[in-house]
Amino acid sequence: MDVKEDMANGAMRWGGDVVRGMMLDGKRGVVALNMLLSGMANGGALGEGGGMREGKRKAVEDIVKGVDWEVVKDKGSGREIASINLKNCIWGLCHAGVTRGVLTSELGSRSASVVAGGNLQEVSNLLWCMGEGVKNNEEEDQEEMKRFEEAGIMLGSEIVSSGKGTSIVKSGRGEEISMLFVALTRLSLPYPHLANMVMSDFDNVVERMEPQGWSNVGHSMGIMGYPGGEWVDRVMGNEGRREEMMVKGTASAYRSMLYAKAVGGWGEGVEREIWERAKGGEIGKGEYMQLMIAKAVNASEGGEVWEDDERTLELGASYRSDFFHHRPSGMWSRRVFRALDTLGFPYETEVCPFDERTVEEYGIWRELFAIDVANEERKIAIELDGPTHTLLGGQRNGTTKAKRRLLERLGWKVLTCGLEDSIELQERGMEEEVKWWREALEDVGWRGDE
């Protein structure tokens, strides 16, 4: 057992008392705290489930509550406060599933000094921890989780606006670039200038990365609506990189690259070999859905039919019910239906945009790309884009843009109503809302009974 695991196990017995003792030892105590929290984060002998997990949760909470930040401020350098202690506390919290709000106010108030004081690796690591915490949210207290996410957004915004993100892309290691892009994407924080940088300095950036980093960056850019597909095409268009990807790339990395092309620009299409590799390995529900989205985009492009094997068919059967769509509900949807009914616009909800032949031939789930509200005879699609369709700032994300491209390729005229439109229309009253829908439908070719 290494020293970090030994200290972590000790914390299981002594909790916050260990930390309080460390703080009496000045700067060496700060270093010891770093080692302790790293051990808690990495887990080691602490295990990942059952009673051991609960013990780990309590130990990490005790450690965090035992840190006297004023003492650390006096004894450690500014950089150690920002990068070592804060990063490892959050790392431990995220990995142990502990209430993340414990350090939220600490991080939020220190964002500027954290970013200014940390080096490129420390800053990218910390933001990645925040992104992981948002992704792996197991909190029952949604208010705490909201505060944690807001702190991550403050940190990410500081990294982007301060120029630290630019420095990471220009001179950071490939792993740091990858972590930065993944974390900003999980926080839905726009970073168009960073995406432009990696594309314009493509060869220099790619040379610093391993295959997993190539797929992470492409996947992240695709989700955000940036040119993830072009990134993948340029990676795989080089014979040397392609061979390296074939040797080192995992099935998960291939799935990420496939999805990057599906939502970030199909471009040159996808070869069967990439599909065959992408459907290997262990596939979770989210990854399986991304495979199905790629199949749907491929079908809309008239590409070669990709065949499932027995294993992926069984996975599909077990996962499919989790992705069923249902008729839109809630006040917003009811107002939309009332306006459409007032206008006499005939519609159905949750309509599959593909014909039966394509569904059968390509093995597409009918529910996957269902249109929110549709008139099949006129091929008019109405999409109600709520918060999950947008980035911070209101721009549509890559998945939403990809769905619109797919519908338009299939001959649908797409009318979009965003949450911001809905709020404005509600304030203006029902009469104005009906007028808005009348004009919007006229723009896509429907004028009542004429």
Query: Is 180's pLDDT higher than 50?
Result: yes
Across the range 408-420, mean pLDDT stands at 91
The packing angle between helices 285-300 and 310-319, to 10°, is 110
Query: What would the pLDDT profile of 113-163 be if each residue is shown by its tens digit?
Result: 667 766 777 677 667 767 766 665 555 567 767 777 787 888 889 889 989
Predicted pLDDT of residue 370: 87
Query: Is 14's pLDDT higher than 90?
Result: no
SS3 383: strand
- Whole-Å CA distances, 21 to 27, 31, 418: 12, 13, 54
- In the chain, DSSP finds a helix count (H) and a strand count (E) of 26, 4
The C-alpha angle with vertex 128 and arms to 127 and 132, in degrees rounded to 5, equals: 120
Q: Domain 331-443 classified CATH 3.40.960.10?
A: yes
CA nearest neighbour of 265 among 216, 214, 230:
230
Query: What is the DSSP secondary-structure string of 351-381?
Result: E-SS-HHHHHHHT--TTTT-EEEEETTTTEE
Across the range 319-341, mean pLDDT stands at 78
List the beta bridge partners of residue 417. Answer: 384
pTM score, whole prediction = 0.79
Whole-angstrom distance, CA of residue 40 vs CA of residue 95: 8
The mean pLDDT of the chain is 77
Predicted pLDDT of residue 87: 56
Residue extents of the structural domains in the chain: 202-321, 331-443
Query: Is 42's pLDDT higher than 70?
Result: no
- Whole-Å CA distances, 38 to 3, 122, 215, 321, 322: 11, 13, 27, 40, 36
The packing angle between helices 104-117 and 142-162, to 10°, is 10
Give the chain's end-to-end CA distance (angstroms, integer).
79
